[in-house]
């Protein structure tokens, strides 16, 4: 489990390739570091995607691992794309670095499964609902302009669900508490319910409600999102959001436990049709 800024998918892919190349040469981290004139910690940070790698450093590693020329171009291209700027970089002054890292992972994901215990997931929020949530989270420590910039980011992220080609598949189990907790006015809640109903009609989105009557469940500790990627060699990652920092879970054993927890949650939750009817009743009751 790692804290803070998480790696992008491309950086993780490059890191995995470099680790495999080192192991193929039967070199330990310490062996590689000694040959390169670096610390073992630097090699480890590169191989775990905690940091990026410069083109000269990549060349030195590939020289050490005696990689054939016809394979080098692909890894250098991968390193360049790992440094490519995304739309979110325009908001760098308003976003914590670990949140920006999550947005990058989200943008590369093919399928996200999420448990949302206290609020509606950001990908499904209206701008009015998002504004209330963000304003409350910032506790008056940020200007109204920064609040608006964060709202823009949250709404822009939703393009992943709405694009025509290969839209993101998204499955949320949302706790009944998140739906009944009033955020802002009744009008804001009504629009949020209506937005959920619109999203529920999309083939790439599944919404299930976990009712109060189910009692204790595997995610009482909090919200999490399990991200899966298009390339089979890109390992899954779990994102756990906190008040002041976020966690990225990357070990196979821990990811398995989160996946198992989600399976239990969806089995306990109302099915999608029942969930839709519950949201519709909430929308009607807010009129």
Alpha-carbon Rg for the chain, nearest whole angstrom, is: 21
Go through the domains of the chain in sequence order and give each one's CATH number: 7-82 (1.10.260.40), 89-285 (3.30.870)
Residue 197 CA to residue 211 CA, distance in Å, equals: 17
* Percentage above 90 pLDDT, the chain: 67
Residue 5: pLDDT over 70 = no
Residue 281 CA to residue 12 CA, distance in Å, equals: 44
**pLDDT greater at residue 73 or residue 163:** 163
CB 157 within 8 A of CB 170: no
Residue 232: band (very low, low, confident or very high) from pLDDT cuts 50, 70, 90: low
Residue 267 CA to residue 53 CA, distance in Å, equals: 43
Q: What is the pLDDT of residues 87-146, one digit of tens each?
A: 888 888 888 877 888 898 898 899 999 999 999 999 999 999 999 999 999 998 899 999
* Percentage above 70 pLDDT, the chain: 96
Instruction: Please report the pLDDT score of residue 52 as a whole number.
Output: 84
Q: What is the pLDDT of residues 19-60, one digit of tens each?
A: 999 999 999 999 999 999 999 999 999 998 888 889 999 999
Instruction: Please report the pLDDT score of residue 16 as a whole number.
Output: 85
Residue 279: pLDDT over 60 = yes
3-state secondary structure of 74: helix
Q: What is the pLDDT of residues 212-223, one digit of tens each?
A: 999 999 999 899
Mean pLDDT within 151-162: 97
Residue 63 CA to residue 5 CA, distance in Å, equals: 29
Residue 147: pLDDT over 80 = yes
Mean pLDDT within 155-168: 96
- Rounded to 10°, the helix 55-64/29-36 angle is 110
CB 181 within 8 A of CB 161: no
Instruction: Please report the pLDDT score of residue 156 as a whole number.
Output: 96
Mean pLDDT within 174-182: 97
3-state secondary structure of 44: helix
If residue 199 lies in a helix (H) or strand (E), which one and from where to where? helix 186-200
How far from 282 is each of 167, 187, 227, 253, CA to CA, in Å?
28, 12, 29, 39
CB 82 within 8 A of CB 52: yes
3-state secondary structure of 225: strand
Residue 3: band (very low, low, confident or very high) from pLDDT cuts 50, 70, 90: very low
């Amino acid at each position: 489990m790692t804290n803070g800024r998480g790696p992008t998918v491309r950086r993780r892919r490059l890191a995995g390739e470099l680790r495999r190349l080192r192991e193929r040469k039967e070199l330990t981290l310490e062996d590689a570091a000694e040959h390169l004139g670096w610390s073992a910690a630097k090699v480890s940070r590169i191989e775990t995607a905690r940091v990026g790698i410069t083109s000269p450093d990549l060349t030195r590693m590939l020289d050490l691992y005696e990689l054939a020329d016809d394979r080098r171009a692909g890894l250098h291209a991968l390193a360049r794309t790992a440094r490519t700027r995304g739309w979110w970089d325009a908001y760098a002054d308003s976003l914590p670095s670990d949140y920006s890292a999550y947005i990058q992972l989200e943008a590369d994901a093919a399928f996200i499964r999420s448990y949302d215990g206290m609020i509606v997931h950001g990908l499904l929020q209206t701008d009015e609902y998002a504004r209330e949530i963000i304003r409350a989270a910032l506790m008056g420590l940020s200007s109204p302009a920064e609040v608006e910039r964060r709202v823009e980011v949250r709404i822009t992220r939703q393009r992943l669900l709405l694009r025509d080609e290969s839209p993101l598949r998204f499955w949320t189990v949302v706790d009944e508490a998140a739906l009944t907790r009033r955020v802002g006015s009744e009008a804001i809640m009504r629009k949020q319910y209506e937005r959920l109903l619109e999203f529920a009609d999309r083939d790439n989105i599944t919404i299930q409600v976990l009712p109060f009557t189910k009692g204790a469940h595997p995610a009482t500790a909090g919200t999490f999102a399990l991200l899966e990627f298009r390339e089979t060699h890109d390992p899954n990652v779990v994102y756990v959001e906190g008040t002041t920092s976020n966690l990225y879970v990357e070990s196979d054993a821990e990811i398995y436990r989160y996946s198992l927890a989600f399976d239990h949650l969806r089995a306990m939750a109302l099915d999608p049709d029942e969930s839709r009817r519950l949201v519709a009743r909430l929308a009607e009751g807010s009129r």
